Amino acid sequence: MTTRSLLAKDWQLDVNTGTSSVPVWTPVKGMTSFKETIASTMEDDSDFDSDGWGSDQTTQRKWSLECEGKRKRDADNPTTFVPDSGQQFIIDAGNLVGIGSNIQIRYYRKDGAPDAWQGFASVDYSGGGGAVTALEPCNFKLNGQGKRTKLDPYPTLTTA
């Protein structure tokens, strides 16, 4: 039997540019790095009955996504910058505070692996700029707001 490794490039991130009741899932294009993190809070639940062996219990989990990308010009319109609508939605939310910086997202693998999640996240946008020879970055962190939901069946890649 031949096996294949999963590729990191097969992750897809979509943002809901509509409403919760009528979602419009818009892909975030131009991504170059995608990292999912699950942070766990552990508490010692050892007792005298464990023959000297310790034990820990998970009491809380937090999720986040760290994403990096490049802002690109539309090849069909080389003289005017037309932003990617998914990136721009995140940038706009990342310039707000409080509940205004919260967005609904979903993320999944495009290769058929059953890893697919949906939830709300607060946007931590890093800003643009760079060296004279650098490409314009679009770097942000999405901090989960509560529990995320497993999507089953998982979405297929669509465009808004």
Is 5's pLDDT higher than 70?
A: no
Residue 129, domain member (yes or no): yes
pLDDT at 4: 65
Domain, as residue range, for 35: 8-40+59-150
Residue 77, domain member (yes or no): yes
From 22-31, 59-68, 75-84, the region with the lowest mean pLDDT? 75-84
CATH of the domain at 69: 4.10.410
**pTM recorded for the entire structure:** 0.84
Is 91's pLDDT higher than 90?
A: yes
Residue 74, domain member (yes or no): yes
Q: How many domains does the chain have?
A: 1
Distance CA 116, CA 11 (A): 9
pLDDT at 2: 65
Residue 26, domain member (yes or no): yes
Residue 48, domain member (yes or no): no
